[in-house]
Amino acid sequence: MTALGFIGAGHIAAAMVEGLRAADSPEDIVLSPRNAGVASKLVARFPRVTVAADNQAVVEASEIVFLAVRPDVAPEIVRALRFRADHIVVSLVALRPEGEMRALVSPARHLVRAVPLPSNARRLGPIAYFPESARARAIFARIGTPVLAADERAFHRLWSLTGLIAPYYALMESLASWAEEGGVAREAEQGYVRALFQCLSAMAQDGKLDDLARQAQTPGGINEQAIALLRASGAFGPWREALAAVNARMNRGLDDKAGG
């Protein structure tokens, strides 16, 4: 039986374990001993999840190893591990390029970078990854929607979009409080905003985004009015600028290498 190993048992490892167990994924799951609190809760909640004695024991017990530690400590932690050539290593580590991680896991031949999301605990949401790996893709497909990036820069573009999670919720909150200022009860308003955005996202699954935006603009209607005002004030510009800044940070490791 295949085992999946996690080096780093924090937020994202916990989300993946929860999603995989909800999906009845057939593999055993082996966690590294830090963070003991998260790891022991996962062991208590789910069958066939164990904590190994140390990080190397995770590697030895697993065919697929997920690296789920923070970028600042990842090189030191991963360098200390001994991989086999046939290991599939999936790096979830931000800001550490494929080339750097590949060198650290040598002689393992298969290194995949991926960006799962906390919502994968509920088996929802995209998982961008690069390069192709049928094994990794099959695992991602159990807990979300795998999206293969054409190259590492494209992968960073997709990862950058996940920086809009907090702004998106903040936008929803701002809209809800605007309505509340007009006298709508807070709970009703939050419920309305949630239901509105949920239905727009559901509709967006089936249509082209620019068509949906066009169809919503009845001539002389309120959507036509609102989008014209937003465009005139450059409302989309700051979102693109934020993405560009995040993306530049992601690409720094690649640009440094390109620059020598």
Residues that bind ligand NAP (CB under 6 A): 7-13, 32, 34-35, 38, 55, 68-71, 73, 77, 92-94, 115-118
Residue 32 vs 251, nearer CB to ligand NAP? 32
Residue 11 vs 240, nearer CB to ligand NAP? 11
CB of 79 to ligand NAP, least distance (A): 11
Residue 36 vs 204, nearer CB to ligand NAP? 36
CB of 246 to ligand NAP, least distance (A): 13
In three-state secondary structure terms, 43 is helix
CB of 228 to ligand NAP, least distance (A): 36
Q: Which amino acid is at 28?
A: D
Is residue 55 within 8 A of residue 32, CB to CB? The reply is yes
Closest chain position to ligand NAP (CB): 10
In angstroms, rounded to a whole number, what is the distance separating the alpha carbons of residues 32 and 62? 11
Residue 77: name the closest of 98, 107, 101 by CA: 101
Is residue 79 within 8 A of residue 106, CB to CB? The reply is no
Q: Which amino acid is at 232?
A: A
Handedness of CA 216, 221, 226, 229 (dihedral sign): positive
Residue 31 vs 176, nearer CB to ligand NAP? 31
In angstroms, rounded to a whole number, what is the distance separating the alpha carbons of residues 134 and 129? 11
CB of 2 to ligand NAP, least distance (A): 21
CB of 170 to ligand NAP, least distance (A): 17
User: What are the CA-CA distances from residue 209 to residues 201, 206, 213, 216, 231 (Å)?
Assistant: 10, 9, 6, 11, 16
Residue 126 vs 176, nearer CB to ligand NAP? 126
Residue 50 vs 177, nearer CB to ligand NAP? 50
CB of 57 to ligand NAP, least distance (A): 12
CB of 118 to ligand NAP, least distance (A): 5
- Helix H or strand E encompassing 57: helix 55-61
In angstroms, rounded to a whole number, what is the distance separating the alpha carbons of residues 186 and 177? 7
Question: Which phi and psi angles does 66 have, rounded to 5°?
Answer: -95, 125
Residue 10 vs 75, nearer CB to ligand NAP? 10
